[in-house]
Structure 1
Amino acid sequence: MSEMQHTPGPWVATLDPQGLTSDDYLIGEEGGPNLDGVATCSKRDAPLISTAPRLLAALIAAERLFEHTWAMNGTIHKEMKAAIKEATTSA
Structure 2
Amino acid sequence: NLEVDYESDEIASIFYATLAFDKELHPDKVKRQMSVSNGKLSVHFEAFEARFLRVSYSAFESRFFVFRYYVSILLDKEVVLLAIPTFFFISL
TM-score, length of structure 2 as denominator length = 0.33
Structure possessing the higher relative contact order (Cα contacts under 8 Å, 6 or more residues apart): 2
Higher percent of residues as strand: 2
TM-score calculated relative to the size of structure 1: 0.33
Q: Which has the larger radius of gyration?
A: 1
